[in-house]
């Protein structure tokens, strides 16, 4: 297997003397030595570039889906670069507010928002609430506060992606179905409520979607329902896929927005409509690499080689949950050929704890090596756990030769904080 292709590395990745990789002007092996492993390392320039691309492509209103990766520094960065922020729980709302993001730049999602979550959102004045159910409309009516809302509708189409992250189909816990008439009833209902202003519709067909055609189909279904309502906003959700492994290629955010605009024009969405989106993964995934240290190498002749690292399913549960593929490389020899096949596993107490099933690595891989997995910036940190009481890694932003820790490493005492 050839060296890791550059397009899977963060934007500022550069190979220096002897093949050592730096990101943001900082040598990854120096980071591992100073900050320890495992660690999430994010290229701040890459994050900022993707946010700016989204704003440039979609215009004002495009929101960063913070579920993909959220901490105060990320919320502040997305806001500074002109994005709104999609928060889908009271917890994400709390972090975004704590980061200093003005409430009017926040969009609140959720298929089961509690009264407490709605009350906080209304009290601070979030910009938009995406209403998901008739029960939520009842709740908002009872609360009586003024709110700007969009209705989440299900367009009834199946995006080509993993079943667990497909959301646009009829059989879904999210939103109001257009086909059944529920969406039309919801529009009528909301329009009778004096304190609520209906701004538009929202839909989301799924995540890690590579085919622009899926989004165009979404627009084709939404447009005939949306256009006669005379509403100013249409949000087509997030979901743009990213390349994780050799051989995958994904559309850019510009290509995504161009395809959507074209489909909107063709399907009769009024030209003055604010058509926007909520990218998560495509903003953050490729911005980060995770650094691990190899602890054991177990060779089973004729079966496989296991390479165990000091993290695992607690910092990246995606391979276990979705069978997701990743690449791996050694930052000390970024451009080395990778002829050795191995399964990279973590340190958790189950066989399913696999990070990369069939990794390709350099032949001289050894215990003590720092090993990196690229494209680990989305849904790794945000879905991390303390399984086996493994402490969660720090998040380090790198830029212009500087390391900025934005989430510190968990300590053993942190593991006792909630015990009473």
Active site amino acids: 349
> Which residue, among 242, 244, 409, 393, has the nearest Cα to 312 in the 3D structure?
393
Among 55, 65, 253, 390, binds ligand LLP (CB under 6 A): 65
**Token code pair at residue 176:** 């109001």
184 CB-contact burial (10 Å; exposed 0-12 / middle 13-18 / buried 19+): middle
The site string for ligand LLP over 257-296 (x = CB under 6 A, - otherwise) reads ---------------------xxxxx--------------
Q: Which is nearer to ligand LLP, 128 or 281 (CB)?
A: 281
Q: Which is nearer to ligand LLP, 275 or 370 (CB)?
A: 275
Q: Which is nearer to ligand LLP, 26 or 176 (CB)?
A: 176
Buried b (16+ CB within 10 A) or exposed e, 388-405: eebbbbbbbbbbeeebee
> Which residue, among 298, 296, 299, 291, has the nearest Cα to 328 in the 3D structure?
291
**Token code pair at residue 125:** 């004045």
Q: Does 377 bind ligand LLP (CB under 6 A)?
A: no
CB of 63 to ligand LLP, least distance (A): 8
Q: Which is nearer to ligand LLP, 10 or 238 (CB)?
A: 238
- Which region among 20-28, 63-71, 300-308, 341-349 touches ligand LLP (by CB under 6 A)? 63-71
Q: Which is nearer to ligand LLP, 65 or 201 (CB)?
A: 65
Q: Where in 329-358 is the site for ligand LLP (CB under 6 A)?
A: none
> With the C-alpha atoms ordered 318, 323, 325, 328, is the resulting torsion angle positive or negative?
positive
What is the maximum span of the chain, computed from C-alpha positions, in angstroms? 72
CB of 263 to ligand LLP, least distance (A): 18
Give the list of residues 6+ apart from residue 194 with CB closer than 8 angstroms, or none: none
d(CA 83, CA 284): 13
Q: Does 393 bind ligand LLP (CB under 6 A)?
A: no
Q: Which residue has the tokens 């709302």?
A: 93
Give the list of residues 6+ apart from residue 203 with CB closer than 8 angstroms, or none: 152, 153, 154, 155, 168, 175, 218, 222, 235, 236, 237
d(CA 60, CA 83): 7
- Which region among 60-68, 142-150, 350-358, 397-405 touches ligand LLP (by CB under 6 A)? 60-68
The answer to whether 66 and 79 have CB atoms below 8 angstroms apart is no
The site string for ligand LLP over 4-43 (x = CB under 6 A, - otherwise) reads ----------------------------------------
d(CA 72, CA 82): 16
Among 48, 50, 109, 332, binds ligand LLP (CB under 6 A): 109
> Which residue, among 373, 384, 265, has the nearest Cα to 41 in the 3D structure?
373
Q: Which is nearer to ligand LLP, 42 or 379 (CB)?
A: 379
Q: Where in 225-264 is the site for ligand LLP (CB under 6 A)?
A: 237-240
Q: Does 379 bind ligand LLP (CB under 6 A)?
A: yes
Q: Does 312 bind ligand LLP (CB under 6 A)?
A: no
Q: Which is nearer to ligand LLP, 256 or 397 (CB)?
A: 256
Total interface residues for ligand LLP by CB under 6 A: 21
- Which region among 75-83, 203-211, 219-227, 369-377 touches ligand LLP (by CB under 6 A)? 203-211
Among 48, 50, 204, 338, binds ligand LLP (CB under 6 A): 204
Q: Which is nearer to ligand LLP, 113 or 338 (CB)?
A: 113
CB of 53 to ligand LLP, least distance (A): 13
Among 14, 165, 187, 415, binds ligand LLP (CB under 6 A): 165
Residues of the shown chain interacting with ligand LLP in the complex, contacts defined by CB under 6 A: 65, 67-68, 86, 109, 165, 204, 207-208, 237-240, 278-282, 318, 322, 379
């Amino acid at each position: 297997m050839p060296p890791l292709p550059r397009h899977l590395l963060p934007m500022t990745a550069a190979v220096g003397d002897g093949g050592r990789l730096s990101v943001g002007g900082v040598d990854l092996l120096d980071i591992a030595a100073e900050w320890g492993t495992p660690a999430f390392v994010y290229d701040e320039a890459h994050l900022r570039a993707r946010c700016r691309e989204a704003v440039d492509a979609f215009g004002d209103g495009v929101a960063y889906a913070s579920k993909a990766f959220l901490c105060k520094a990320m919320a502040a960065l997305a806001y500074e670069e002109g994005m709104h922020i999609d928060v889908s729980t009271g917890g994400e709302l709390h972090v975004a507010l704590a980061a200093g993001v003005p409430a009017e730049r926040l969009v609140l999602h959720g298929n089961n928002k509690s009264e407490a979550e709605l009350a906080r959102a209304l009290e601070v004045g979030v910009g938009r609430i995406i209403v998901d159910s008739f029960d939520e409309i009842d709740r908002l009516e009872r609360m009586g506060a003024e709110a700007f809302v969009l209705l989440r509708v299900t367009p009834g189409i199946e995006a080509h992606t993993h079943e667990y992250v497909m959301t646009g189909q009829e059989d879904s816990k999210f939103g109001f179905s257009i086909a059944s008439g529920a969406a039309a009833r919801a529009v009528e209902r909301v329009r009778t409520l004096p304190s609520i202003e209906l701004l538009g519709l929202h839909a989301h067909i799924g995540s890690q979607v590579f085919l622009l055609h899926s989004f165009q189909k979404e627009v084709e279904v939404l447009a005939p329902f949306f256009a006669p309502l005379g509403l100013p906003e249409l949000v087509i959700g997030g979901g743009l896929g990213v390349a994780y492994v050799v051989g995958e290629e994904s559309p850019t955010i510009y290509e995504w927005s161009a395809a959507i605009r074209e489909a909107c024009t063709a399907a009769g969405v009024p030209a003055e409509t604010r058509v926007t989106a909520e990218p998560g993964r495509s903003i953050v995934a490729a911005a980060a690499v995770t650094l691990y240290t190899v602890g054991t190498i177990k060779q089973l002749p004729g079966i496989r080689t296991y390479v165990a690292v000091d993290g695992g399913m607690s910092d990246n549960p995606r391979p276990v949950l979705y069978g997701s593929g990743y690449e791996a490389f050694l930052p000390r020899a970024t451009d080395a050929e990778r002829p050795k096949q191995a399964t990279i596993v973590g340190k958790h107490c189950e066989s399913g704890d696999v990070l990369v099933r069939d990794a390709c690595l350099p032949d001289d891989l050894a215990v003590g090596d720092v090993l990196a997995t690229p494209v680990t910036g989305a849904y790794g940190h945000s879905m991390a756990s303390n399984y086996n009481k493994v402490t969660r890694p720090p998040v380090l932003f790198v830029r212009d030769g500087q390391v900025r820790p934005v989430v510190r490493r968990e300590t053993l005492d942190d593991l006792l904080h909630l015990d009473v």
